[in-house]
Structure 1
Amino acid sequence: MRYTIASIIASAILTISASAACTPSSVDTAGLQKLITDGGAGYTLQLCASQVYELSEQLNYTAANQEISTEGYPTDDTRATLKMVGFNKTTSVMAQDTGLNGAKLKNIQINGNRLDNEDIYTAGGGNIEFGGQNQNQVIEYVKSYDPRGWSCLHLAEGTFNCLNITVQNNDIGPCGRDYFQNWADGISLSCADSLVQNNNIVDATDGGIVVFGAPSSVIRNNTINVKTRTMLGGINMVDVLPWLPEGNFSNTLVESNNIYGGFATQLGNDTFGSNNASAIIKIGIAVGPNVWFSDGRYGTNKSTGAIIKDNLFSGAFAFGMGISSADNFTISNNSFVGNTSFIGTYGPNCTTEAKTPHQPVPLLLEPDSVQDLNLTLPPDSEFQFVNGTALGLTCFMPPTSGDFWPYGEGFNSVPSPTDPESTSPTSGGGAGNGASSSPATTSSPSSGATSPISSSQGWILGSVLGLLSGTLILL
């Protein structure tokens, strides 16, 4: 058979188009689901860059090693978007049924489409539901935001047989609203032996990363920050269920995470300014159920067995760390960088009398409720743990106005923990009510003052031209 130049070029274009074709957004939800189901094990549903796919139902993975991703694997806002528009639906992608080992969600955006005037949907799951009965799943370079339900990304434990999910390089948030019981998590981790790393989490109003035990998991090198919505916690280790024995965080490692509370958005005095959203993180790292729940729902159960080390805090919090009802934890070398403040007033849900929580401080420990705690701070730490009642600390409310937020680098940006100027404990700090430089005895709460404590597509064309060049040479 004699091949002409035209036929060779046409064949090349068809071959390239077939190998690189993405599924357009004109395909409806049922059509997308059929592609996944018919594709079988190892199938990749490749969506088109910069297109929005409106979902009337969740998309379900149906076989092992399937993938949903964007053509070309972009990492910016050209990633395809799955937008949930179905009535009373909360989950966009689901990979929790049996037989879904190796499921992947990569380089895509998930818009939960919770409207500004909507309350949280009290039934249903998160934007993304992975884990369950499976192992070796991957979620990376995904942006997940505005969930209608309780989490931007949920990694479920199954029947305690979920193992080895990798969650990395994702953009998470905003998640939820910062008004009562309308909160949502950023990443909710309950799958054991998992890796959660290098994620950027913004305005996840419940917890930035909530660890539900997830024994032998590693949570490291994540950045958690607040911009316009107050967060209850940065990293939470307070839920003693579902893992058994209750409170099982054994060998879970939380290390080298950067947690940034609010910074001033308006100029004020030399040291502090106001924040136009009154946004803080109430507890940077929360350990133990009593820190979170003041109603005694977990009785004498404790969070047990984790390691928390080398994490950095900066900005405005009520508490940098709060520790209560914990057993056999190693907590070491966690430090404050740049400018900080510790602010808040007692809210309507705070307990009273003997159970009234301690006023905001950088580091709060309830010594009578912990045991076998290996607790150390950097030798040059400006702050030490203060002993006091650490019960239901999320009840504190940020100031609604006033110059209580510290300045960040460039006025209101997140400081860099690697910048020597920003890591100086006194960088840009101002006078205030200083924390005790040595452990204090349990103290009585003050009247709830808010004064801060401070311290300072062209590859296709190239391929065609390359083939054309080769064809001319052959001729």
Structure 2
Amino acid sequence: MFRLSLEDELDLLPFLPLRFFFLPVFVLSFSLTGGPSTRVQLCPSAVLHLTGPIFFTAKDQELSTEGYPQDETRAKLVCTGDAITAVQGDCRRCARVALLNVQIDGSRTSLGRATPDDKGGPLVILGNNEGQRVERCVLQDPRGWAAVHIREGDNLQCTGAKVEWNDIGPAGEEWVEEYDGPDPEASPLGRPLGDGVSLSCRDSSVSHNTFTDTSDAAVVIYGSPGSNVSYNKVVARSRSQMGGILLVDYGPFEGSYLSTVVSHNIIDALGGLIRVGIGIGPPVWSDDLETVLSDGKVSDNVLRGYWMGYGVVAAGVKNFTVVDNVSTARHSGLRGGRCPTEPVENSPPMAFLYNATSSDGEFQADFVDGSVQYVVCIEPESDTDDIFKPSEPIPEPEPEPVYEEPELTPQNSVINDIFDHSKQRIMEALEGVQDQVDALETMKDVWEKAISGKTSNELDSGMIM
């Protein structure tokens, strides 16, 4: 086990052992060679600025915070410079790797989106193997298209992944056609939308997570036969979302959602439009009226919130079971400029909508038969007159008391003298801190000269476990 501390010797580079006595943060820009079962534990409250991904390279490896805290003392990884992906573990030897109890900030707010030239990927990339875990982490602000992507593998061999008990989001920005063009995937500024979890792995679990402001969707399920997406909370708090949970893709499992279950999730359009709470089938997301998905189940989910568009929508499916879902939401939305009019116009937003002609299976009785074709085209209403309206008049605030300068008395004079003395001591202490900062700058210059002969790969490739 490696223990990364800001007070202990970092002997991870055999050619350059270092000590960090005062630094509150440092930049991970070195290589760590390990083998199976290597466990790297970061000190609580440590902040590490990444210039490249941390790579898992062997089975049963772990990256975590020491003591496995579940609060703000979890170590924090922050993407800097050109970094887009923070942790990657989709190698053929990466069975059962684990990312536990850490915080990761992708820094989209400060660094901007990953542009097409960046070829930016998700913040965390796993998959292509078995039994991998992301648990009790905080994952936010990815520069790429998702916070977590569990990929299916080169031969669809991914199985048994777990993404559980995490706080995920915000992810992505809203798609503004005036800036990004008619297709968000082709925006010259980079893809604006961001997913929470992109799941393409058999027999996996995405559960007990909280997703906030994931502008594309909280969870996108690519078939993933045998998987469970359950007991998650999805909240649109301050930005709109294309969807809550989506089952709309044919690949890579050729439309099979066999034994894939979406259940007991809460989807809350609290402060932003969620265009589709749960979308089932390709027509929800596109004008593809021919492709068919099969064999999934959606049950016991709750939709709520003032800004919900469509609730549960199904079209282009066979042998699906959609039952026992509940909506207490207000369903609304304005027809957007991208909404199709041919061959027919979509039915208006409602709690449960399906196209009976293209939907085969068991559907709860309150589904309404209607037209479904790219229903995520709707836009939020502009009228907010009846939202946040108080039930009782808001009382006038009490006037703030007027502060009167006290008269100078001998007692006040003594207090002032004490204050002036304390102020002087503080200034002297600050000067001492500045001396330490100057010394650290000198150390930094010496260190940079010492490693100037190393290859760019050793300095920029990130941490390799």
Q: TM-score, normalised by structure 2?
A: 0.73
Q: Which residue of 2 aligns with 1:100?
A: 94
2:336 paired residue among 343, 347, 355: 347
Alpha-carbon distance in structure 2 between the residues aligned to 1:145 and 1:154 = 14
Instruction: Verify: 1:288 aligned to 2:298, yes or no.
Output: no
Q: Which residue of 2 aligns with 1:113?
A: 107
**What is the alpha-carbon root mean square deviation over aligned residues?**
2.5
Q: Which residue of 2 aligns with 1:191?
A: 201
Higher relative contact order (CA closer than 8 Å, sequence separation 6+)? 2
Alpha-carbon distance in structure 2 between the residues aligned to 1:407 and 1:307 = 38
Alpha-carbon distance in structure 2 between the residues aligned to 1:97 and 1:305 = 30
| Secondary structure at 1:259 match in 2 | strand
Alpha-carbon distance in structure 2 between the residues aligned to 1:17 and 1:286 = 43
Instruction: Find the structure with the greater CA-based Rg.
Output: 2
Q: Which residue of 1 aligns with 2:455?
A: none
2:152 paired residue among 144, 157, 162: 157
Alpha-carbon distance in structure 2 between the residues aligned to 1:64 and 1:21 = 27
Q: TM-score, normalised by structure 1?
A: 0.71
- Report the CA distance between 1:280 and its aligned residue: 1.4
1:43 paired residue among 19, 38, 46: 38
Alpha-carbon distance in structure 2 between the residues aligned to 1:404 and 1:393 = 25
> Structure 1 residues 218 and 22, CA, compared in 2 at 3 Å: closer, same or farther?
farther
Q: Check conservation: 1:120, 1:176, Cα contact below 8 A.
A: no
Segments of 4+ moved more than 4 angstroms: 20-27, 404-409
Instruction: Verify: 1:336 aligned to 2:327, yes or no.
Output: yes
Q: Which residue of 2 aligns with 1:30?
A: 29
Alpha-carbon distance in structure 2 between the residues aligned to 1:408 and 1:66 = 53
1:66 paired residue among 49, 61, 64: 61
- Report the CA distance between 1:118 and its aligned residue: 3.0
Show CA shifts across 1:207-247 (max 9, x none): 1111010010011111111100111111000011111xx21
Q: Which residue of 1 aligns with 2:85?
A: 91
1:364 paired residue among 331, 353, 358: 353
Segment drifting more, 179-188 vs 102-111: 179-188
Alpha-carbon distance in structure 1 between the residues aligned to 2:223 and 2:60 = 26
Amino acid at match of 1:262: L
> Structure 1 residues 405 and 186, CA, compared in 2 at 3 Å: closer, same or farther?
farther
Alpha-carbon distance in structure 2 between the residues aligned to 1:118 and 1:404 = 35
Q: Check conservation: 1:341, 1:405, Cα contact below 8 A.
A: no
| Secondary structure at 1:374 match in 2 | strand
Q: Check conservation: 1:262, 1:281, Cα contact below 8 A.
A: no
Q: Check conservation: 2:243, 2:279, Cα contact below 8 A.
A: yes
Q: Which residue of 2 aligns with 1:471?
A: none
Amino acid at match of 1:91: T
Q: Which residue of 1 aligns with 2:230?
A: 220
| Unpaired stretches in structure 1, ≥5 consecutive residues | 1-15, 264-278, 378-383, 410-475
Instruction: Verify: 1:209 aligned to 2:219, yes or no.
Output: yes
Alpha-carbon distance in structure 1 between the residues aligned to 2:115 and 2:258 = 32
Alpha-carbon distance in structure 2 between the residues aligned to 1:326 and 1:71 = 46
- Report the CA distance between 1:44 and its aligned residue: 1.2
Amino acid at match of 1:167: V
Amino acid at match of 1:308: V
Show CA shifts across 1:378-427 (max 9, x none): xxxxxx22211111011000013423658899xxxxxxxxxxxxxxxxxx
| Unpaired stretches in structure 2, ≥5 consecutive residues | 11-19, 177-183, 185-191, 392-465
Instruction: Verify: 1:261 aligned to 2:269, yes or no.
Output: yes
Q: Which residue of 2 aligns with 1:127?
A: 123
Q: Check conservation: 2:194, 2:214, Cα contact below 8 A.
A: yes
Q: Which residue of 1 aligns with 2:301?
A: 311
Amino acid at match of 2:72: D
Amino acid at match of 1:310: D
